Amino acid sequence: MNQISLPDTDVMYQALLHKDASFEGIFIVGVKTTGICCRPTCHARKPKANNVEFFACVKEAMSFGYRPCKVCHPLQPAGETPDWMKSLEQELSQSDTMKFTDQDLRERGLDPVRVRRWFKKHHGMTFQAYARALRINRAFGLIKHQDKVIDTALDSGYDSVSGFHEAFKKLTGDAPTRSKTKQVITITRILTPLGPMFAGATEKGICLLEFTDRRMLETQLKRLSKLLKATFVPGKHPLFETLNQQLGDYFAGRLKTFSVPLDIPGTAFQQDVWQALLKIPYGETRSYQAQAELIDKPLAVRAVAKANGDNRIGIIIPCHRVIGKNGKLTGYGGGLWRKQRLLELEMGRWQSNSSHANHSVHQSDHAAVTNSNNAPQKEQAIL
Ligand SMILES: [Zn+2]
């Protein structure tokens, strides 16, 4: 993880006002009112101090829902951006689907491996991860900071959130229409010491809890929407308050078992696997083999691993407690470093409060869920 710390907020805001080029590469500014992130020297009109938050890199800004500015192109570090990158960024931002396969890249005379490496080196993410974040943010980040839009939309029924629906349709390729839709999944963003997560809730319970940069997020959203014949609507839900509280206690090391109700549609086999996950005690780990034996399917180790990966309720259904036979950490949708942190937290080797600053360089007025004084309502309203 990144361990850079940012300059003082005041210093950065002054640098922003003066378009101070010496701060290029030091910070990225997110403008809360537009959901756009910029370089310090952007020529766009400067936002008020209370409407900005600062990040160390574009990747971090994007994980909080921001999209790169089309005026200053924060993805193009000064003086080192190849031409192919410029045209690729432009094409992607104008594309409807915002999807580029390796074949698409090859057709443009680009080597997918090289493209991925360049992105990874300069922005700490792959090109595919960038494109994905862009799609997610167009669907969800767009309304992140516009509480008024959400309130109005909720007041007059969710069909009026047309921008959201349009974006969601592009995201999943299949937005449920109202006639097919019987249910609503209320979705929000919850901040944790390990990064922002998407949370979803139905009348029955929490149906989604995933890190926003999770690789299979779009697939998970699409599946959930189909399984529950439901449509996603950003907003508030009484269960989010409980969830926020319990996550806060969990990250503070005070909570070992979650009691917030869950809504987890899936096959009988998946249900068995997920219930078996819930039986792994806090702070302990199990192998996939042991989990397969627990549900009386000792030969179905791979299927168990697959169902583990299909878990949509991160942290609460503790798929992070399953490790390889040799004790090595294996795949985790939210990233291996997070899996390690979660296990360290549960084993009392990591305190999210004290080391938060080392693991997240994000500085803003956001409070992580560990801050118990923070009114949860505020966080839930920002999606
Ligand atoms: Zn800009």
Q: In this predicted structure, what is the pLDDT of residue 143?
A: 41
CB 15 within 8 A of CB 42: no
Calpha distance 369→190 (Å, rounded): 8
Q: In this predicted structure, what is the pLDDT of residue 200?
A: 92
Give the list of residues 6+ apart from residue 226 with CB closer than 8 angstroms, or none: 174, 176
207 included as an active-site residue: no
72 included as an active-site residue: no
Q: Which letter does DSSP use for residue 6 in this model?
A: P
Q: Which of 37, 38, 42, 207 is catalytic?
A: 38
37 Cα–ligand 1 center, Å:
6
Helices 162-172 and 127-139 sit at what angle, rounded to 10 degrees?
A: 150
Average pLDDT of 45-70? 88
84 Cα–ligand 1 center, Å:
20
Number of H helices, E strands in the chain: 16, 10
pLDDT at 319 over 50: yes
Q: In this predicted structure, what is the pLDDT of residue 379?
A: 31
Band of pLDDT at residue 25, cut at 50, 70 and 90 = confident
Give the position of tokens 């009112």.
33
CB 136 within 8 A of CB 217: yes
Q: Which residues of 62-89 are buried (b: 16+ CB within 10 A; e: fewer)?
A: bbbbbbbbeebbbbbeeeeeeebbeebb
Average pLDDT of the chain is 78
Q: Which letter does DSSP use for residue 157 in this model?
A: -
pLDDT at 370 over 80: no
Average pLDDT of 20-32? 87
Structure tokens at 74: 């924060």
Q: In this predicted structure, what is the pLDDT of residue 169?
A: 62
Band of pLDDT at residue 252, cut at 50, 70 and 90 = very high
Calpha distance 170→22 (Å, rounded): 39
Q: Quick one: what percent of the chain has pLDDT higher than 70?
A: 77
Helices 83-94 and 127-139 sit at what angle, rounded to 10 degrees?
A: 30
* pLDDT 10s digits, 131-157: 877 777 776 654 443 333 333 333 333
Q: Smallest Cα–Cα separation from 142: which of 34, 47, 29, 39?
A: 34
Calpha distance 347→275 (Å, rounded): 22
pLDDT at 168 over 80: no
Q: Smallest Cα–Cα separation from 106: which of 116, 94, 120, 95?
A: 116
42 Cα–ligand 1 center, Å:
4
55 Cα–ligand 1 center, Å:
14
Give the position of tokens 């310090």.
40
Structure tokens at 219: 């697939």
Structure tokens at 56: 């160390």
* pLDDT 10s digits, 31-54: 988 888 999 989 888 899 999 999
Average pLDDT of 336-356? 79
Band of pLDDT at residue 182, cut at 50, 70 and 90 = low
22 Cα–ligand 1 center, Å:
16
Using a cut of 0.85, tell me whether the model's pTM lies above it. Answer: no
pLDDT at 344 over 50: yes
Band of pLDDT at residue 96, cut at 50, 70 and 90 = low
What are the backbone dihedrals phi and psi of residue 21, each rounded to the nearest 5 degrees, phi first? Answer: -65, -20
Q: Which of 42, 57, 72, 319 is catalytic?
A: 319
Chain length of the chain: 383
Calpha distance 317→338 (Å, rounded): 15
Give the position of tokens 């969601």.
168
Q: Smallest Cα–Cα separation from 155: which of 233, 99, 231?
A: 233
Q: In this predicted structure, what is the pLDDT of residue 161?
A: 44
Q: Smallest Cα–Cα separation from 164: which of 138, 131, 198?
A: 138
Report how far apart the first and last C-alpha atoms of the chain are (Å, whole number): 25
Band of pLDDT at residue 120, cut at 50, 70 and 90 = confident
Structure tokens at 282: 């806090």
Q: In this predicted structure, what is the pLDDT of residue 372?
A: 35
In terms of average pLDDT, the best of 124-133, 211-220, 306-315 is: 306-315
For the chain, where are the E strands, in sequence order? 28-31, 36-38, 52-55, 67-68, 183-192, 195-201, 206-211, 230-234, 286-287, 322-323
Cα-only R_g, the chain: 21
What are the backbone dihedrals phi and psi of residue 29, each rounded to the nearest 5 degrees, phi first? Answer: -105, 135
Burial class (CB in 10 A: 0-12, 13-18, 19+), 242: middle
Q: In this predicted structure, what is the pLDDT of residue 73?
A: 87
70 Cα–ligand 1 center, Å:
6
Average pLDDT of 166-195? 66
Calpha distance 218→240 (Å, rounded): 21
Structure tokens at 342: 């979660």
